[in-house]
Chain A
Amino acid sequence: MAERPEDLNLPNAVVTRIIKDAIPDGVNVSKEARLAISKAASVFVLYATSCSNNYAMKAKRKTINANDVISAMEEMEFDQFEDPLKHCLEAYRNEQKNKKEANEKKKKEKEVEVQTVEDVMEEEEDDEDNDGDNEKDEDFVAEEDEDDDEEEDEEGGDVESVGLGSVANDNASVSGSATGSVVEISDDDG
């Protein structure tokens, strides 16, 4: 096969591993044989693609799908691959489904985290006399609303710039007063 910038060969290490899995331990396969099998595998992909594509085109589709590939095996007289491939397809579809569900779960958890940290931030801001609770002290004069808004924006800005995704609410420690100093969020896990 002519060499091209895009490599049409499969990685030798992987092909060797597949070969080793197929034959008993201790059996030696010469380098020349392994190279030839690797080339054969590339040609197999081309042949399978050509057949699969024919099925897709016959059905007036521009996308080769799973059934096209399985039909191609029959055409190429590799019938023994059909059932195992159907089995693999099922396993693959299940894994894709599981991955999708896991990702959606992670997404939801992230949204909850962001909300919770923001809630904590707001609570801190309500602690005007800096005594640890959100109750107003009688003698303490609340700051003007405008100032509060400014503070909120600053701190809101800080919150956004920290990688919230990796911070579990339990580990976040919020220090500093609500009177305008910079609030730090540190990750406590060691």
Chain B
Amino acid sequence: MAEKQTEKDGQCVLPLSRIRTIMKSSPDVGSISHEALFLTGKATEMFVKNLATISREKSKDKMNVNYKDLAEVVNSDDVLQFLQDIIPRKIKAREYLEKLEDEDEDSS
């Protein structure tokens, strides 16, 4: 297994062209060296693996990882704060409506 990893270390499974597209969409970005592009791709791979692993750790059911586990991890880990807007905790519709009612009462 360790040998297999060494083979893949210099290669990225994510398409670098797509990574580049995302990077270029960031404001004020000039040029990106091909090494920087490769490393960003590799870092993203590591990030995905890390996120999947810690979500499972947090999950009560070790054989199933679902959205809830992910949202829980994102909203409790400081390092993952930048993801809070895109992976919010979900609440039931009823709770949301109640929330809206409370807000209306406050503003009126």
Q: Least Cβ distance of A9 to chain B in Å?
A: 8
Q: Are B64 and A27 in contact (CB under 8 A)?
A: yes
Q: Least Cβ distance of A133 to chain B in Å?
A: 54
Q: Are A14 and B28 in contact (CB under 8 A)?
A: no
Q: Are B67 and A32 in contact (CB under 8 A)?
A: yes
CB contact list, A153-177 vs B, under 8 A: none
Q: Are A22 and B26 in contact (CB under 8 A)?
A: no
Q: Least Cβ distance of B13 to chain A in Å?
A: 6
Q: How far is the CA of A36 from the CA of B38 in the complex (A)?
A: 23
- A30-B67, A57-B28, A70-B39 known; A45-B19 Cβ under 8 A: yes
Name the CB-closest residue of A to B47.
Answer: A44
Q: Least Cβ distance of A4 to chain B in Å?
A: 8
| A→B interface (CB under 8 Å) | 1, 4, 6-8, 10-11, 14-15, 17-19, 21-23, 26-30, 32-33, 36-37, 39-50, 52-53, 56-57, 62-66, 68-70, 73, 76-78, 80-81, 84-85, 87-89, 91-95
Which 7 pairs of residues, A with B, have the shortest CB-CB distance? A91-B10, A62-B30, A22-B49, A91-B9, A66-B35, A63-B31, A30-B66
| B→A interface (CB under 8 Å) | 6, 9-11, 13-15, 18-19, 21-23, 25-26, 28-33, 35-36, 38-40, 42-53, 55-56, 62-67, 69-71, 74, 78-79, 82-83, 86-87
Can you list 5 A-B contacts with CB-CB less than 8 angstroms, sorted by A residue number?
Answer: A27-B56, A40-B87, A53-B29, A76-B79, A84-B46
11 further contact pairs, Cβ within 8 A, besides A30-B65, A41-B51, A80-B50: A1-B86, A6-B21, A7-B18, A22-B50, A28-B63, A33-B66, A40-B51, A40-B83, A42-B22, A88-B38, A93-B35
